[in-house]
A and B are shown apart, each in its own frame.
Chain A
Amino acid sequence: MAEVTLHEVSKRYGATVALDRVSLTIADGAFVVLLGPTGAGKTTTLRLISGLEAPDGGDILIGGRSVLRDTPAQRDVAMVFQQYSLYPHMSVRDNLAFPLRSPVLRTPEDEIARKVREVAEVLRIEGKLDNKATALSGGEMQRVSIGRALVRDPQLFLMDEPLSSLDAKLRADLRVELKRIHATLGATLLYVTHDQIEAMTMATEIGVLDQGRLVQFGTPREVYESPVSLYVAARLGLPRINTLPAGLFAGAPAGAKTIGLRPEHIRQGEGRPAQVLRIEPLGDQTRLHLRLDGHDIVTLTDVHTDLEPGDSIAIEPRNALYFDATGARIV
């Protein structure tokens, strides 16, 4: 495992700027999650680090050494692809053994057997080892493709939305599993996703990508509590942050255009009266949809609330976030 550094890395595809001077350090043993919507440049970042693409500018260092001249094989990274994860013409066992049989590793067969068994156990696919890769469910396929990365002991694991195609239950299970693997192996991971829950639950650091630019990098807590922009603030938090005109409540700082109110930033019982539109009980929480001066606001309330649609409730901001006209945060 090693520290990985991106220095001012840029990549263009024709007229599209996929990555724009991204600098980033993934500490040894870190679990970094890059978060961004489709087209933000997440896959491109992984392809540049793995050596499948060459950057137009900047440098990539693994363990303090520039790897730009190295082939993918020489970089010693493992990657889980977003799609097309398994070789359809091989059994699950051969898929898992494939990296170990490479000319770079040349693992003896008895050790291959041991490692494959180990990984299969961790991912709970022992019973499927002799299946053809095509005879698996989506969840099993994805576990095998994660397994194919885990059998190796690379400098860095790269994972491209590995859970995005799975159902919610499996996704939750594998999140826990990945976190556990990270802790036990002490592995360095760069994981990209558009799913904020994955980012919040697994990351030691989150990097937020916006159209090829890394707009913020920090611990999940830092990024959640002190987003640098409205864009970042909107990426994390469920229900989403409410964005309202700054003038809706008193106390906005000079230059503020927008006030960002997370559900927990809304104190109930005082302030301006808002109308209850809908109550959404979700079991563990209850969402409250309000309307104030023509603006929709979502907040949380008591699970067993007595409120009903049409009721009026006073609300006021608490520790609100303010943003200027460009969307940048005002502190």
Chain B
Amino acid sequence: MSGASVTGPSRRLKWAAGILVVGYALITLMPLLWIMATGFKTSPDSIAYPPKVIFAPSLEGYVNLFTTQTRQTADYLAANPPQTWYEKIVHDRGMVITGTSRFGERFMNSVIIGFGSTFLSVVLGTLAAYAFSRYRIPLKDDLMFFILSTRMMPPVAVAIPIFLMFRNLGLSDTHAGMILLYTAVNLSLAVWLLKGFIDEIPREYEEAALIDGYTRFQAFTKVVLPQAATGIASTAIFCLIFAWNEYAFAVLLTSGTAQTAPPFIPTIIGVGGRDWPAVAAGATIFLVPVVVFTVLLRKHLLRGITFGAVRK
């Protein structure tokens, strides 16, 4: 599209709309930008009043996030000069690094559990949605409603039975347990979303492939899947966002090995005073995977608009 058409919005209207959108985006992104900035402040700067908009950036928060530290005497500090830039940051505050913190581990747990359950939800969801869309299934509508109904209760309502079940099955605080749980929760959403997308793909495409000598499964992988890419991408993003941010089950069912980042980050607050820069740094890093994932898939999201070589 180029130029203004008679029926299209005028240039001035486009400008006004642009300013409105950018302005709204700035307002909603403000807390996020503030957190990101806080991650690069020193502890005193982070709680300064009035709040500092301009400040000398520091990696203190990030160093604190990834390390454990202890206070040392001036003599000890003088006798052990810092070897690296991060040791120096700690050193300057009268501390020494005693080891790495749990954040890296917890973050990896989030990655494994988040992406693992997203992958499972999308794979199972696509297969189930295809079956619901294409085959004659007895009680189809009731089954679809049943699947949705698993999503109707708030997590707390099922927390205790799941807690007991996990304990009996030995799934408490395991990656497998959390992946299964998030998959179970996400699957209803995945099936419903994907069924909508697959319903939109005309059967004629698969039928043409069948006649052209392909098996039903090949028709599914070569014809249906590529055309469902938009739906699969958006479903995957929804599933990942849920699993990534989930807090209630994570608090209840994980404590060590499989603890994800959301229940871990608040615990930073308690370690050695209110370390807001470290919390902000953790929150910032925590945002990255979902943002990257969404940006990577955005091409597929946009493709939905130009969907279909339909002759009408």
**Which positions in A face B, CB cutoff 8 Å?**
50-52, 71-73, 75, 77-79, 81, 83-89, 98-99, 102-105, 132-134, 136, 138, 141-142, 148, 152, 165
Partner among A81, A89, A98 whose Cβ is within 8 Å of the Cβ of B204? A81
* Contact of A98 with B309 at beta-carbon distance under 8 Å, contacts A83-B202, A89-B227 already known: no
In the assembled complex, which residues on chain B have CB atoms less than 8 Å from the CB atom of A138? 311
Docked CA distance A134–B226 (Å): 14
The 10 closest A-B CB pairs, nearest first, are A102-B213, A104-B213, A88-B309, A99-B212, A84-B204, A84-B202, A89-B226, A72-B210, A133-B309, A134-B309
Q: Are A77 and B215 in contact (CB under 8 A)?
A: no
Docked CA distance A52–B197 (Å): 23
B87 in the interface (beta carbon within 8 A):
no
Rounded to whole Å, the gap between the CB of B292 and the closest CB of chain A is 25
Q: Are B205 and A165 in contact (CB under 8 A)?
A: no
In the assembled complex, which residues on chain B have CB atoms less than 8 Å from the CB atom of A134? 306, 308-309
In the assembled complex, which residues on chain B have CB atoms less than 8 Å from the CB atom of A105? 213
Q: Are A85 and B308 in contact (CB under 8 A)?
A: no
Q: Are A52 and B214 in contact (CB under 8 A)?
A: no
* Contact of A165 with B210 at beta-carbon distance under 8 Å, contacts A84-B205, A88-B307 already known: no
Q: How many residues of B contact A (CB 8 A)?
A: 24
**Which residues 272-312 of B sit at the A interface, judged by CB distance below 8 A?**
306-312
The contact sample of 27 A-B pairs, CB cut-off 8 A, is A50-B211, A51-B210, A51-B211, A52-B207, A73-B214, A75-B211, A77-B211, A79-B208, A81-B204, A81-B207, A84-B309, A84-B311, A85-B208, A87-B223, A87-B226, A98-B212, A99-B212, A103-B213, A103-B214, A132-B309, A134-B306, A134-B309, A136-B309, A141-B309, A142-B311, A148-B208, A165-B311
* Contact of A83 with B208 at beta-carbon distance under 8 Å, contacts A88-B227, A99-B213 already known: no
A138 nearest CB neighbor, chain B only: B311
Q: Are B210 and A73 in contact (CB under 8 A)?
A: yes
Specify the main secondary structure of chain B where it touches its partner: helix
Q: Are B212 and A52 in contact (CB under 8 A)?
A: no
B150 in the interface (beta carbon within 8 A):
no
Q: Are B213 and A73 in contact (CB under 8 A)?
A: yes
Rounded to whole Å, the gap between the CB of A18 and the closest CB of chain B is 17
In the assembled complex, which residues on chain B have CB atoms less than 8 Å from the CB atom of A104? 213
* Contact of A83 with B213 at beta-carbon distance under 8 Å, contacts A88-B227, A88-B307, A103-B218 already known: no
